[in-house]
């Protein structure tokens, strides 16, 4: 399914070179006319132009093996630096000419006849620029036209490469799993995935390959374990590398690279907001969802492939197949769930920032768990519930982070977690819910009030949140009795001072409202209850009674 969809995508990209062709920069264009006469050499080395050239299915390494119509000067002319040609230079020049002659005999194209006449008449150094070197890449242009763009010439090279595969790699001919034709099966990935950003080798990483007996089956080794022909292998490799190279089609989170595309390669920028949610673009996206004004087809298929690398191996982490409409709806929900009434400016977070909030990040280490990244991405794209590992990592990070504890990104992620599990019967609202009587939530609220009482009464270097948060959020019964007794002394101080009397009555009222709902302090709290404790603590800290009263009136 994955490789088939990549091959389908390759057919929609107009800029792709045809099978068995690649793109590269060229140093000089040899300009000739129909009579094979030299018009001049055009230096294109600094123009940044990219030209297609015929690539060998099996690399030439040290062999004498010319490319079709585009090659180094040492192949086209033999030697442009000295008068005499070595034996190898004689071979390379003859091989290049023979290949052009074979092409003309097969296609009969007039432009190839013109190139043949040029090669037969030229004496090399008489026609060349003095600064041309043997390692410079040259290509022909006949009356301003690129012969490699002619359909018959492309088919000649593709047919030739497939014949070479049958002759030199004829050990396995079978039905290709993608195109369903009887062809030579690739024994290696001809187009390796460029995954340097996530730990891959500079030369590329193979998606399909077996390098150990335990991975082989039915006597098949290397890429023969998957029956895919060379043409299809080239297509899906080019498609993947195209998506990897395009900013509009990739999203890197930690050590995982997500590439995404639509069936018809239509424009969809909603996914980019998950990487960098720019306020203006996000606002327009959310408005377009609400109004229904979109520039794409809702039911068009949407694909997302998650990749990482283990040196020379490409690793598939996840595969998502849905529709643009579903993705749009889920991304909208992802950002809507970040709404928190906490007296702070409206802020939205990328997937990486949410995942980052669950881990300790240093200059040397990135401890974000892949399962956390994968779950948040699936939530944002597919709308699937966040896994318990996300909750576990949030709770552990809150307990370890003595300085910040429950930050806004962590509170947003906790809200997402609980609201993605409606079967739990817990619906977390944007602001404090005084009707929520869950003991864990109430304990979180109570802890926030006790912290505020201490803060208003005395100036302490070490606050109760620094010393007691971990125990209070996991075993409330063991600490709350002592904390409440201490709070009574602080409340008495607030009551006696005229400047804080009003604060005393409000804190006493909040304390009583919570204690009325709490029949007893739980001995222990489960992982989910610890998450509710954190939300109760955060929302109580963010509570603004004056705004609440205004809304009620």
pLDDT at 546: 62
d(CA 532, CA 278): 30
Q: How confident is the model at residue 525 (pLDDT cuts 50, 70, 90)?
A: very high
Whether pLDDT at 396 is above 90: yes
Highest-scoring range by mean pLDDT, 68-82, 299-313, 402-416:
402-416
pLDDT at 553: 45
d(CA 30, CA 28): 6
d(CA 357, CA 362): 12
Interacting residues of 506 by C-beta distance below 8 A, sequence separation 6+: 545
Whether pLDDT at 285 is above 90: no
Whether pLDDT at 524 is above 90: yes
Secondary structure in 3-state letters for 58-115: CCCCCCCCCCCCEEEHHHHCCCCCCCCCCHHHHHHHHHHHHHHHHHHHHHCCHHHHHH
| Residue 396 or 544, more confident | 396
How many CB atoms are located within 10 Å of the residue 363 CB? 5
- Please state which of the ranges 47-61, 161-175, 368-382, 390-404 shows the lowest mean pLDDT: 161-175
Question: What is the percent of the chain with per-residue pLDDT over 70, rounded to a whole number?
Answer: 91
Q: How confident is the model at residue 61 (pLDDT cuts 50, 70, 90)?
A: confident
Q: For residue range 436-489, what is the model confidence (pLDDT) as tens digits? A: 999 999 999 999 999 999 999 988 788 899 999 999 999 999 999 999 999 999
Whether pLDDT at 152 is above 60: yes
Q: How confident is the model at residue 222 (pLDDT cuts 50, 70, 90)?
A: low
Q: Is 53 helix (H, G, I), strand (E, B) or coil?
A: strand
What is the average pLDDT across 93-122? 93
pLDDT at 157: 93
pLDDT at 156: 95
d(CA 91, CA 123): 16
pLDDT at 287: 75
Whether pLDDT at 292 is above 90: no
Whether pLDDT at 175 is above 60: yes
d(CA 476, CA 468): 10
What is the average pLDDT across 401-405? 90
In the chain, where are the structural domains located? Answer: 13-157, 169-243, 246-430, 435-553
Mean model confidence pLDDT for the chain? 87
For the chain, the helix, strand and coil percentages under 3-state DSSP, each to the nearest 5: 50, 15, 35
Which of 95, 230, 238, 68 shows the shortest CA–CA distance to 165?
230
Whether pLDDT at 552 is above 60: no
| Residue 361 or 535, more confident | 535
Q: Is 389 helix (H, G, I), strand (E, B) or coil?
A: helix
pLDDT at 103: 95
Concatenated DSSP letters of 285-350: HHHHHHHT--SS-TTSEEEEEEEEEEBTEEEEEEEEEEEHHHHHHHHHHHHHTT---SSS------
Q: For residue range 192-210, what is the model confidence (pLDDT) as tens digits? A: 899 999 989 888 898 887 6
What is the average pLDDT across 159-175? 75
Whether pLDDT at 230 is above 90: no
Q: For residue range 238-251, what is the model confidence (pLDDT) as tens digits? A: 999 999 998 889 98
Whether pLDDT at 82 is above 70: yes
d(CA 174, CA 272): 41
- Please state which of the ranges 186-190, 342-346, 420-424, 520-524 shows the lowest mean pLDDT: 342-346
- Please state which of the ranges 49-63, 166-180, 370-384, 502-516 shows the lowest mean pLDDT: 166-180
């Amino acid at each position: 399914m994955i490789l088939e969809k990549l091959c389908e995508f390759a057919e929609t990209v107009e800029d792709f070179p045809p099978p068995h062709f690649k793109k590269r920069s060229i140093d000089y264009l040899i300009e000739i006319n129909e009579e094979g006469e030299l018009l001049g050499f055009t230096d294109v080395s600094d123009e940044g132009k990219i030209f297609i050239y015929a690539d060998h299915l099996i690399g030439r390494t040290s062999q004498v093996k010319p490319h079709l119509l585009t090659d180094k000067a040492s192949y086209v002319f033999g030697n442009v630096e000295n008068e005499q040609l070595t034996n190898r230079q004689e071979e390379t020049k003859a091989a290049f000419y023979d290949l052009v002659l074979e092409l003309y005999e097969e296609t009969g194209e007039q432009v190839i006849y013109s190139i043949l006449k040029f090669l037969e008449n030229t004496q090399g150094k008489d026609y060349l620029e003095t600064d041309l070197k043997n390692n410079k890449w040259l290509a022909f242009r006949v009356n301003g036209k690129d012969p490699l763009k002619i359909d018959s010439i492309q088919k000649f090279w593709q047919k030739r490469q497939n014949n070479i595969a049958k002759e030199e790699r004829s050990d396995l001919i079978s039905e290709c799993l993608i195109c369903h034709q009887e062809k030579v099966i690739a024994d290696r990935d001809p187009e390796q995935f460029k995954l340097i950003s996530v730990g891959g080798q500079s030369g590329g990483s193979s998606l399909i390959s077996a390098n150990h007996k335990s991975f082989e089956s039915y006597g098949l080794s290397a890429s023969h374990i998957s029956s895919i022909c060379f043409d299809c292998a080239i297509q899906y490799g080019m498609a993947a590398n195209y998506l990897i190279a395009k900013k509009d089609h990739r999203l890197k989170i930690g050590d995982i690279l997500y590439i995404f595309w639509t069936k018809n390669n239509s424009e969809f920028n909603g996914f980019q907001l998950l990487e960098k949610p720019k306020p203006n673009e996000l606002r327009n996206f959310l408005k377009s969802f609400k109004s229904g004004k979109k520039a794409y087809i809702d039911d068009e298929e949407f694909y997302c492939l998650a990749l990482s690398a283990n040196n020379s191996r490409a690793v598939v982490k996840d595969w998502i197949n849905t529709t643009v409409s579903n993705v749009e709806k889920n991304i909208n929900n992802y950002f809507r769930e970040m709404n928190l009434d906490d007296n702070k400016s409206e802020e939205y977070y990328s997937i990486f920032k949410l995942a980052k909030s669950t881990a300790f990040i240093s200059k040397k280490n990135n401890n974000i768990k892949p399962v956390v990244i994968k779950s948040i991405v699936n939530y944002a794209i597919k709308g699937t519930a966040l896994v318990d590992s996300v909750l576990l990592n949030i709770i552990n990070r809150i307990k370890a982070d003595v300085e910040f504890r429950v930050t806004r990104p962590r509170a947003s992620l906790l809200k997402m977690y609980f609201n993605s599990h409606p079967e739990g019967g817990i619906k977390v609202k944007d602001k404090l819910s005084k009707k929520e009587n869950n003991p864990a939530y109430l304990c979180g609220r109570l802890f926030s009030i006790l912290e505020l009482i201490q803060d208003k009464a005395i100036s302490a270097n070490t606050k109760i949140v620094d010393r007691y948060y971990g125990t209070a959020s996991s075993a409330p019964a063991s600490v709350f009795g002592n904390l409440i007794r201490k709070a009574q002394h602080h409340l008495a101080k607030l009551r006696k001072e005229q400047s804080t009397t009003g604060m005393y009555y409000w804190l006493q009222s909040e304390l009583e409202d919570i204690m009325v709902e709490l029949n007893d302090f739980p001995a222990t709290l489960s992982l989910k209850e610890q998450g509710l404790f954190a939300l109760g603590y955060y929302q109580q800290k963010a509570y603004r009674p004056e705004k609440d009263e205004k809304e009620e009136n």
